[in-house]
Amino acid sequence: MSEKFTKNQKPSNIFAGAANLQQKQMPESLSPEALKKLDENLEKKERSPMTKAQKDLQSLLFIGRLEKEIVISGFKFKMTTVNNIEQKSIFVLTAKADDNEKAFVLRNATLAYAISEINDIPIDSFIESEEENIDRRIEFFNNLSTALVSKLFDTYGNLSKQSNDMVVSEDIKN
């Protein structure tokens, strides 16, 4: 049984009760780009004031979501923490790998989901494909130097730790 996971994989229907806020469906993906677009759409459109439930749902989608830009050798990489669906995909891809390849798959799959832009250009622009495909994104990172991939993954690890600390510290305050 071979599962393919794409960056725009549809989330499960856990938000069924809140799916039709203002007669609008939830986005097909909770990728960084989709979350940013959702936020921009909410700012652009003139609507009646959002209800508390709508504001709470919007805030819930962004809890722990951090973004960072890092410049390495003149190249600017934009990364965000991955969401739960993306993390599951990373674990599935890693579990399918041979034991001696698991660390490489984990690292490159994480970066494939976390890095959205290089020098302000969407990463999918660097990949020759009509559709967004996580396998092609992983292959892109496979072809980069070990030193660069290690630096990017270390940066992502620090960003992820910041995200976890932020959520935990908010939990402790309340």
Averaged over successive runs of 10 residues, the pLDDT of the chain (174 residues) comes to: 42 34 42 70 62 77 86 96 94 95 96 95 80 83 96 96 79 57
Alpha-carbon gap, residue 69 to 155, rounded angstroms: 10
What are the residue ranges of helices labelled H in the chain? 32-44, 52-62, 84-96, 102-114, 134-142, 146-173
Q: Given this model, what pLDDT does residue 158 score? A: 96
* CATH pick for 67-173 out of 3.40.50, 3.30.2220, 2.40.128, 3.30.200: 3.30.2220
Domain locations along the chain: 16-62, 67-173
Q: Given this model, what pLDDT does residue 12 score? A: 36
Name the packing angle between helices 134-142 and 102-114 (round to 10°): 120
Q: Given this model, what pLDDT does residue 170 score? A: 55
User: Which among 88, 137, 147 has a CA at the least distance from the CA of 111?
Assistant: 137
75: DSSP letter = E
Q: 14 Cβ partners below 8 Å, 6+ apart? A: none
Q: Given this model, what pLDDT does residue 172 score? A: 61
Q: Given this model, what pLDDT does residue 55 score? A: 77
Q: 9 Cβ partners below 8 Å, 6+ apart? A: 29, 85, 89
- For residues 9 and 36, the answer to whether their CB atoms sit within 8 Å is no
> Any idea which residue has 């469906």 for tokens?
25
Q: Given this model, what pLDDT does residue 9 score? A: 41
